[in-house]
A and B are shown apart, each in its own frame.
Chain A
Amino acid sequence: MKRILFIILLVLAFTNCEDVIDIDIPSDGPRLIIDAVIKVDTSLAFQTVRVKVGLTDAFFGEVAVTDLKQITITNLGINPTFGNPGFVVLLEVEPGVYQKEVGNLFLTQGELIFQVDHEDQLYLARTYYVPSVPIDTLIQGEGTSLNGGQTEIITTITDEISRNDFYLFDFDFNEFFLSKDDFYRGEQFEFSYLYDRILEPGKEVDISILGVDRAFFNYMNLLIEQSKSDLDIFATPVATVRGNIINATDIDNIEFFDNVDQTNNFALGYFAVVQEFKKSIVIK
């Protein structure tokens, strides 16, 4: 009798309760979200530059789209002439998607300025093209860790010694992996990526590598962490991850930044121009 009592007491004591609850979350008002990661495949002469724009909504609601007046990308390195104005204007091809064919030279040389005009606010971002290295090999591995039920892909690249590289690997299915060349500068680098499940044999997986700069690397790092659905025990103070798109409406001068009045009226997302290499592998 006493033993049963003991056990009952223990069960009651150590079962954490997790309940789904209803809470009212205040909405911040819709924010502009701009997905302007432009992937450059240098084997082609022209790129289709595609930018997705939307409006966020309350946490438990739907993600909506919006339309705006204008999206332009300017290349500061080009001296404007009649035939070559030094900028391109992206046109809406579907709701929320803006597109244009742009030549490689425009994207890979010179500083690029990205501007969005929306509801009387001017949003601005600037970046340079970031190169990458191709994927040497993709091999499916045997390895599983812990309890099995995983698929392993071993990836090899050769780092470029002359520059400080940051890489973003897209392992398909919205899974990403970040790496920087601190420990393998100029050398061949091999690593394993494990999918949390067994992928069906015969399935073709498209894996790509993007060259990113430090800022975009940090941004994707925080974003990946925040998108995870399980509780991170070592989570630090949550914060909205700001990308590199700033609200430039009140700024009179791009060099002097002393009127940070629009601090809360920012756009989410990122503008990056990155070199991409792709490779596929068929799962055994």
Chain B
Amino acid sequence: MDKIFYFKFLFFILYSTVVFAQENYTISGIVKEASSNESLIGVTIVFPELKTGVTTNEYGFYSITLPSGTHTLQISSIGFKDIVQKIDLNENLKLNFKLEIFVEELEEVVLTEDVEKINIRKPQMSVNSLSVETIKNIPLVFGEADVINSILLLPGVTNAGEASTGFNVRGGAADQNLILLDEAIIFNSSHLFGFFSVFNPDATKDVKLYKGGIPSRYGGRVSSVLEVFQKEGNSKEFKVSGGIGTIASRILLEGPIVQDRAAFLVGGRVSYGQYFLPALDIDNSASFYDINAKAHYRLNEKNKILLSGYFGRDSFSLDKSFTNTFGNSVANFRWNHIISDKIFSNLSLIYSEYFFGLELDLLGFNWDSNVRQFNLKLDINDFKSDKLQINYGFNNIYYVFNPGIVKPLDQNSDILEEQLTKKYADEFAAYVDIEHYISDKFSMEYGIRLSLFARLGQDDFNLYLNDDPVIFDPFLLTYLEADPIDPVDPPPGFSSGNGTGISDIYTNLEPRFSASYRFNTNTSIKAGYNRMAQYIHLLSNTSSPTPLDVWTPSGPYVKPQILDQYALGFYKNIKNGVFTIETEVFYKDIDNRIDYIDGADLIANNAIERVILNGEARAYGWEMLFRVNKNKFKGWLAYTLSKSEQRTPGRTPKVDNGRSNRETGINLGEWYNTPYDKTHDIALYGSYDLNKKWRFNMDFIYQTGQPTNYPVGQFEFQGLIIPYYGLRNEERLPDYHRLDISAKFVPTKKASSKWQSEWVFSVYNVYNRKNAASINFRRNQDTGVNEAIQTSIFGIVPAVTYNFKF
């Protein structure tokens, strides 16, 4: 609260721990995987005698400053051979490490043992890492491996079931997740109704999900950070891997451009299931494809350039009456520069676009919308001492929001081509984040992020009487859209051009804090607090299967969302990591959560401020994760008990002509369930290695049914029969649960050939439960009686996938 006090406290902590007792030298370098030169993220280098260590950053770089002398160094990372080395430290050393893969296939690990050991020590809480191998083991529909569907098995993460895009973390909305692919922000993380994510598992190197305790280097979304890093490309030899699946296939090629210095990686996925549909007389169709292309060049010991690009498109059409196309495109330039032995920097220049288009044959027009961002960011890691790491940097994003161009399909149509008003904004943030290992038992991570959002000028600007885009009718007790007054001319503060002039600025200070107290090597407790600000919002139609994704920036009528999250956790390793228990409780408070007035119209709405009201939201819950990691069996049980609700009270009554009208708000101003409130969320995952050839996996999910609206009665008016509804989100769909199993068969590899293959046999939804995707009501044409119709997407789906690499 008191910002000056906070800063003084920060400086005091810093100064009190900088110790210059004796000669200290720095060891630094990069840790790579031996056969590909792929840099390794999150590998811990431990100095057991000194009881200290360091973890490699996102680019494999580490730096640690120790007193002179002879020390033993140990690197132990699951899937790799251990390295133990004696170091004579009497000058600054550059030590690069190459870890060799275990002779057996990279198996194991749900959450790497090492990450866990250091997690007990690291102050960070509410973060889960998933290894790529785990992701590839979790059986899913059509036998495909998937990043997003794997994180759904973690506590605190749910989604709306099949045919839903996005995911919800700790009772947060799908637009509140910051999704990063190699530092680039991705807007929509799913293909094909959420069955596939935009992350090609073959190209993925590291996946981390922050549910809370979010360090200050991340910002812009309030609920979570999903950070995915892809492989950079094998600079030692040329490799191909891929898979042929039931409805989609994928291939990945990587290899050196300059041996050991430069490499490329190209991967693609394409679905083909849609070609069989006409033969089966099905008029609906869904398909996707995506391409990942990367290249990197290590100029010298201190400099490395990385280039990456991603392009993906989804296409969904219903009965030829409409076609929906959407997808992300990203172009990314990064420059790693090692400034000194202790300081690492990364500069990124990113272009990212999300496109969403609808071709409505029935209504005769096309609606194309997109959001573009141009992002410049600089991140610096200063490994000041073995007890203190300071990260700082800045991030600037320039946005162009295009709510849509409406084009007629037919030249002779009555519909005129119309460009809805483009919106411009700039988001800037600067941060400082300190990882502070105060003592053997106690460590803290604290930091602050200053974020600033400027809404820039635009072509047309709507003004409303009394600045009220939504009117409350005191007689009918309903909210109505206000008509704009003075339609076009921008007010002072805008210039008449696009993207120039500033109309609104929002500034926020976002303090972040987490602390860890370790009772012994096996037990710790952690506490954390973070404040986050979110300046762009997704206006999505939550009650239908094809969401209309319109991202909109904060402005005069839409305020930024501000979140405060408090969390407390307890962690224990039992029997040296064979069993682990992690449990956390959290409480989140969000200001300025918007919701729609009843009957809001979203399609091609140029003035969305007329259908939304500001409110607040909160979520709280308890998460539990119990993991087993014993010999041939790995698995976990995750349970979350939580509540996610929001409230949209009536606005402060204005006195108008001596009349002061109290407003009803939505749901009479009472708390109501958010559309993603799930009371219970249970996930069970298990993996068993029978022998070198066979592995069996299973997963089971159970979620409380999603909130929905059922009609509570009906009436007749002028011959029409109309249902009417009760309060918002009071009812629930039936509970969602299913069981999936899979078996992986690895035939013996011929010694002479490099070809490796595996067969995956999987069954999704083993007991064929028809989980409700939605329930609608209609009058039966024959009997005249009302009935409830449940739509479910998948019953039991068996699949076979063939994966190969050479």
B725–A239 CB distance below 8 A: yes
B795–A33 CB distance below 8 A: no
Picked from A23, A59, A257, A269, the residue with its CB within 8 Å of the CB of B659 is A257
A18–B789 CB distance below 8 A: yes
What is the chain A residue whose CB lies nearest that of B669?
Answer: A263
Task: Let me know if A25 is at the binding interface, CB within 8 A.
Answer: yes
Min CB distance A166 to B, Å, is: 14
Within 8 A of B (CB), among A1-35: 5-7, 9-23, 25-28, 30-31, 33, 35
Task: Let me know if B728 is at the binding interface, CB within 8 A.
Answer: yes
Min CB distance A245 to B, Å, is: 9
B661–A227 CB distance below 8 A: no
CB contacts (< 8 Å) of B485 on chain A: these are: none
What is the chain B residue whose CB lies nearest that of A52?
Answer: B716
Picked from A26, A258, A263, the residue with its CB within 8 Å of the CB of B477 is A263
Task: Let me know if A236 is at the binding interface, CB within 8 A.
Answer: yes
Picked from A174, A176, A237, the residue with its CB within 8 Å of the CB of B598 is A237
Min CB distance A227 to B, Å, is: 4
- Report the bound CA distance from A155 to B410 in whole Å: 23
A9–B799 CB distance below 8 A: yes
What is the chain A residue whose CB lies nearest that of B602?
Answer: A236
Min CB distance A242 to B, Å, is: 5
B715–A268 CB distance below 8 A: yes
Min CB distance A272 to B, Å, is: 10
Max chain A Cβ within 10 angstroms of own Cβ: one of B546, B602, B659, B711: B711
What is the chain A residue whose CB lies nearest that of B475?
Answer: A246
A6–B725 CB distance below 8 A: no
A6–B276 CB distance below 8 A: yes
Known: A9-B799, A234-B603, A263-B668. A269 touches B277 (CB 8 A): no
- Report the bound CA distance from A28 to B726 in whole Å: 7
B791–A13 CB distance below 8 A: no
CB contacts (< 8 Å) of B725 on chain A: these are: 238-240
CB contacts (< 8 Å) of B545 on chain A: these are: 233
Task: Let me know if A139 is at the binding interface, CB within 8 A.
Answer: no
Interface size class of A (residues with CB under 8 A): 35 or more
Known: A19-B770, A234-B602, A236-B543. A270 touches B717 (CB 8 A): yes
- Report the bound CA distance from A56 to B725 in whole Å: 12
CB contacts (< 8 Å) of A25 on chain B: these are: 710-712, 731
Min CB distance A154 to B, Å, is: 15
Task: Let me know if A241 is at the binding interface, CB within 8 A.
Answer: yes
Picked from A13, A60, A170, A239, the residue with its CB within 8 Å of the CB of B794 is A13
Min CB distance B47 to A, Å, is: 53
B541–A59 CB distance below 8 A: no
Picked from A236, A255, A269, the residue with its CB within 8 Å of the CB of B599 is A236
A21–B788 CB distance below 8 A: yes
A13–B722 CB distance below 8 A: no
Known: A59-B712, A237-B598. A174 touches B284 (CB 8 A): no
B277–A19 CB distance below 8 A: no
Q: How would residues 79 to 104 of chain A score, 1 for a CB under 8 Å from any chain B CB and 0 otherwise?
A: 00000000000000000000000000
Task: Let me know if B721 is at the binding interface, CB within 8 A.
Answer: yes
CB contacts (< 8 Å) of A205 on chain B: these are: none
B277–A10 CB distance below 8 A: yes
Known: A9-B798, A21-B790, A237-B596. A223 touches B717 (CB 8 A): yes
Known: A17-B791, A33-B717, A230-B778. A58 touches B712 (CB 8 A): yes
- Report the bound CA distance from A227 to B280 in whole Å: 33
What is the chain A residue whose CB lies nearest that of B774?
Answer: A231
B776–A37 CB distance below 8 A: no
B474–A239 CB distance below 8 A: no
Known: A59-B711, A240-B724, A244-B476. A235 touches B543 (CB 8 A): yes
Task: Let me know if B631 is at the binding interface, CB within 8 A.
Answer: no
A237–B247 CB distance below 8 A: no
- Report the bound CA distance from A16 to B193 in whole Å: 13
Max chain B Cβ within 10 angstroms of own Cβ: one of A14, A218, A237, A244: A237
Min CB distance A49 to B, Å, is: 15
What is the chain B residue whose CB lies nearest that of A183?
Answer: B414
Task: Let me know if B478 is at the binding interface, CB within 8 A.
Answer: yes
- Report the bound CA distance from A233 to B602 in whole Å: 12
B548–A18 CB distance below 8 A: no
A236–B541 CB distance below 8 A: yes
What is the chain A residue whose CB lies nearest that of B717?
Answer: A35
Task: Let me know if B429 is at the binding interface, CB within 8 A.
Answer: no
A56–B724 CB distance below 8 A: yes
Task: Let me know if B378 is at the binding interface, CB within 8 A.
Answer: no
A63–B715 CB distance below 8 A: yes
Task: Let me know if A160 is at the binding interface, CB within 8 A.
Answer: no
Task: Let me know if A259 is at the binding interface, CB within 8 A.
Answer: yes
Task: Let me know if B282 is at the binding interface, CB within 8 A.
Answer: yes
Q: How would residues 673 to 692 of chain B score, 1 for a CB under 8 Å from any chain A CB and 0 otherwise?
A: 00000000000000000000
CB contacts (< 8 Å) of B596 on chain A: these are: 236-237
Min CB distance B675 to A, Å, is: 9
Task: Let me know if B792 is at the binding interface, CB within 8 A.
Answer: yes
CB contacts (< 8 Å) of B282 on chain A: these are: 14-15
CB contacts (< 8 Å) of B726 on chain A: these are: 26, 28, 240
Known: A14-B282, A16-B792, A239-B599. A226 touches B723 (CB 8 A): yes
- Report the bound CA distance from A266 to B475 in whole Å: 11
- Report the bound CA distance from A239 to B728 in whole Å: 8
CB contacts (< 8 Å) of A263 on chain B: these are: 477, 664, 668
Picked from A218, A227, A255, A258, the residue with its CB within 8 Å of the CB of B720 is A227
B775–A31 CB distance below 8 A: no
Task: Let me know if A211 is at the binding interface, CB within 8 A.
Answer: no
Task: Let me know if A282 is at the binding interface, CB within 8 A.
Answer: no
CB contacts (< 8 Å) of B541 on chain A: these are: 234-236
Within 8 A of B (CB), among A106-153: 126
What is the chain A residue whose CB lies nearest that of B799?
Answer: A9
A13–B247 CB distance below 8 A: yes
B714–A19 CB distance below 8 A: no
A241–B543 CB distance below 8 A: no
Within 8 A of A (CB), among B600-619: 600-603
Known: A25-B710, A233-B545, A266-B477. A20 touches B787 (CB 8 A): yes
CB contacts (< 8 Å) of A12 on chain B: these are: 794-798
| 29 contacting pairs across A/B (C-beta < 8 A) | A6-B276, A7-B276, A9-B798, A12-B796, A14-B277, A16-B792, A18-B789, A21-B789, A26-B712, A30-B713, A33-B715, A33-B716, A60-B786, A234-B602, A235-B544, A236-B541, A236-B599, A236-B600, A237-B600, A239-B599, A241-B724, A256-B659, A256-B660, A258-B660, A258-B662, A260-B474, A260-B663, A268-B715, A269-B715
- By a beta-carbon cutoff of 8 Å, the part of chain B in contact with chain A is 141-142, 246-247, 273, 276-277, 280, 282, 284, 318, 322, 474-478, 480, 541-546, 548, 596, 598-603, 653, 658-664, 668, 709-726, 728, 731, 770, 775-779, 781, 785-800
- By a beta-carbon cutoff of 8 Å, the part of chain A in contact with chain B is 5-7, 9-23, 25-28, 30-31, 33, 35, 37, 54, 56-60, 63, 126, 170, 174, 176, 215, 218, 222-224, 226-227, 229-244, 246, 255-260, 263-264, 266, 268-270
6 tightest A-B contacts by CB? A239-B598, A174-B719, A28-B712, A240-B724, A229-B778, A257-B474
